[in-house]
Amino acid sequence: MHHDSQKTVTQVKRPVSSDNNNSVFVGHPLTVEQLNNCARKLKRESLCFGKFYSTVTIKGQSVLTGINHITLAVRDLATGIDFYQGLLGFRLAARGDAGAYLSLGELWLCLSLDETQTKNPQTDYTHYAFSISPSNFADFQEKLRAEGVAAWKDNKSEGDSFYFLDPDGHKLEAHVGDLATRLAQCRIRPYSGMKFFD
């Protein structure tokens, strides 16, 4: 008779490590006990959040290629367009009764009229960051402050950043730097528990 811990599971989609440091690969049967040991170790190392995911691929390549667009709910369309086009410099591509399409570089932004939208900013840390050159940062920050744009956070990380709210309370940021500069700083002063994967 087989106990539950001896039942085999073969749906592991990527290499993981078990507690005895043996590698487990796709197609190699695992007992439930081994799989649970793997999950416990991965949780301890903060590499997963209670579930194994399998990357969606076609012919071995990820099918997602980047951010397509961002949609923000607005209470008043004219006010939203004025902020993003008039103040931040987005290009207005089209507008209708219930929404507008704007662009900034390769970014496609949709403003969607939504009566349920409130002006109160969300309490979590979700926000959208725009790139800005070091030479333009100070003037940009001064201009927004002069226009009464509210800040929602002080910068405490690498690179100059101005954290500000749009008229509907969406959290935005203008940031000097990119992923490479952030990682370089983190290698010098890593955040708690940080690991690098390159």
Return the active site residues: 173
List 103's β-bridge partners, or say none. Answer: 91, 108
Asked if residues 108 and 69 have their Cβ atoms less than 8 Å apart, the reply is yes
**Long-range contacts of the stretch 183-191 (C-beta < 8 A, 24+):** 185/158, 185/159, 186/158
Q: Which two tokens stand for residue 190?
A: 């890593």
Asked if residues 73 and 121 have their Cβ atoms less than 8 Å apart, the reply is no
d(CA 15, CA 42): 12
d(CA 59, CA 47): 25
Asked if residues 67 and 44 have their Cβ atoms less than 8 Å apart, the reply is no
